[in-house]
A = this chain, B = another copy of it.
Amino acid sequence: MKTRRASGRPTIADVARLAGVGAITVSRAIRDPNQVSEELRNRIEEAIRELNYVPNVQAQILASGQSNVIAVLLPSLTNSVYADVIRGIYDKVAPTRFHIQIGNTRYSEQEEDRLVALFAWQRPAAMLLAGLDQSETTRSFLADAEFPIVQIMEHGPAIDMGIGCSHKDAARAAVTHLIDCGYRRIAFLGARKDPRMMRRRDGYREALAALPGAKPIELLTPEPSGVARGRALFSQLLDTATDIDAVACGNDDLALGALFECQARGIAVPEQMGIIGFNDLEMAAAAVPAISTVRIDRYEMGRRAIGMLLDRLEGKKVGEPIVDIGFDVIRRASTSAVDQGVSAARSAKGG
């Protein structure tokens, strides 16, 4: 007889034997207790407790063909922005039968293509992606995937479902806030050049277009973002464009860097220089002066994205497949109403 190395832990058959029922009844008692009479159910639960039985997930999946994996592909695991999203994702998934499988695309389209294909072959129950800018290959590949897909961060045409906001609108609102404060020579600082960053740049351009005579002053680097990068970029900008009176930063890291550079150069914020960031990282509120920024509820976005997937997996009717989660411009001291000098500039330039 070919005896096989059993795992040693109790199986459903052990429970069935102890409870004096068939294995399938135990299986039913576990998955849908209502299908089993109360008496048997009690006997089974007793046996489960006694044996310390825990179902073998692999066997469940193999037999049922139902995966319990939700694939999550994000461009960064370090960036606080995604850390908040991840927290929301995990919190929402924790009480369910599903597990998260995270992949790091490193802001690379090729890597995203590779991971989407890799994960898709594992037949996940669902998939979560960041952004709307997947490659054509990946979009068409996923378009006829049989699992639900949600794209987060941005608001727009999604493959299946989506939740996020318009980064262009958000940046436009931020820059408009600078204009409302009286700033007139407004620059834009960007890094990494990922799709969201470029859309914020576009929003900056749109806002400036509404300001007669204003010309875009932009400095973007493909290099990763960071406080040090923000400081260096802003320093470079100040050396070139000497007459700027405000800077819209593509994120709060850059904004904090810009603030530090102002401190280092003795430039008064907000009097001589207005600064606004993006993302509302925790540090922004504590800075001196506190940095104005744009807030998106990333934790909630992560939660709701998973919620949409779960609804679909449970066959529930999902409401809107494309959700705009919105944003808030957070006004703080770094963009206070300007002093007379700049007010003068307003009347001079803005008319």
Q: B-facing mask of A201-223, CB < 8 A → 1, else 0?
A: 00000000000000000000000
Most buried by B among A87, A263, A287: A287
Q: B-facing mask of A72-88, CB < 8 A → 1, else 0?
A: 00000111100110110
User: Shortest Cβ distance from A113 into chain B, in angstroms?
Assistant: 15
Contact A80–B80 (Cβ < 8 Å) = yes
Question: Does A283 reach chain B (CB closer than 8 Å)?
Answer: yes
Most buried by B among A90, A231, A283: A283
B residues within 8 A CB of A257? Answer: 286
Q: B-facing mask of A102-115, CB < 8 A → 1, else 0?
A: 10100000000000
Contact A228–B282 (Cβ < 8 Å) = yes
Contact B264–A283 (Cβ < 8 Å) = no
Question: Does A42 reach chain B (CB closer than 8 Å)?
Answer: no
CA distance A230 to B260 in the complex (A): 18
Question: Does A59 reach chain B (CB closer than 8 Å)?
Answer: yes
Known: A5-B65, A286-B227. A122 touches B90 (CB 8 A): no
Contact A7–B101 (Cβ < 8 Å) = no
CA distance A123 to B102 in the complex (A): 20
A288 contacts which of B59, B123, B263 (Cβ < 8 Å)?
A: B263
User: Shortest Cβ distance from A262 into chain B, in angstroms?
Assistant: 9
User: Shortest Cβ distance from A265 into chain B, in angstroms?
Assistant: 9
Contact A122–B282 (Cβ < 8 Å) = no
Question: Does A337 reach chain B (CB closer than 8 Å)?
Answer: no
Contact B286–A231 (Cβ < 8 Å) = yes
Copies per assembly: 2
Question: Does A61 reach chain B (CB closer than 8 Å)?
Answer: yes
Contact B83–A87 (Cβ < 8 Å) = no
User: Shortest Cβ distance from A100 into chain B, in angstroms?
Assistant: 7
CB within 8 Å of B: which A214-257 residues: 226-228, 230-231, 253, 256-257
Residues of A participating in the B interface, judged by any CB pair closer than 8 Å: 5, 7, 9, 54, 56-59, 61-62, 65, 67, 77-80, 83-84, 86-87, 90, 99-102, 104, 121-123, 226-228, 230-231, 253, 256-257, 260, 263-264, 282-283, 285-288
A263 contacts which of B54, B61, B263 (Cβ < 8 Å)?
A: B263
CA distance A327 to B162 in the complex (A): 43
Task: Name the residue on B nearest A256 (C-beta).
Answer: B283
CA distance A228 to B77 in the complex (A): 23
Contact A7–B231 (Cβ < 8 Å) = no
User: Shortest Cβ distance from A292 into chain B, in angstroms?
Assistant: 16
Most buried by B among A61, A77, A86, A99: A77
CA distance A83 to B85 in the complex (A): 13
Task: Name the residue on B nearest A86 (C-beta).
Answer: B77
Contact A78–B78 (Cβ < 8 Å) = no
B residues within 8 A CB of A57? Answer: 122
Contact A226–B282 (Cβ < 8 Å) = yes
Contact A83–B78 (Cβ < 8 Å) = yes
A62 contacts which of B59, B78, B104 (Cβ < 8 Å)?
A: B59
CA distance A260 to B256 in the complex (A): 12
Task: Name the residue on B nearest A99 (C-beta).
Answer: B101
Known: A263-B288, A283-B283. A62 touches B54 (CB 8 A): no
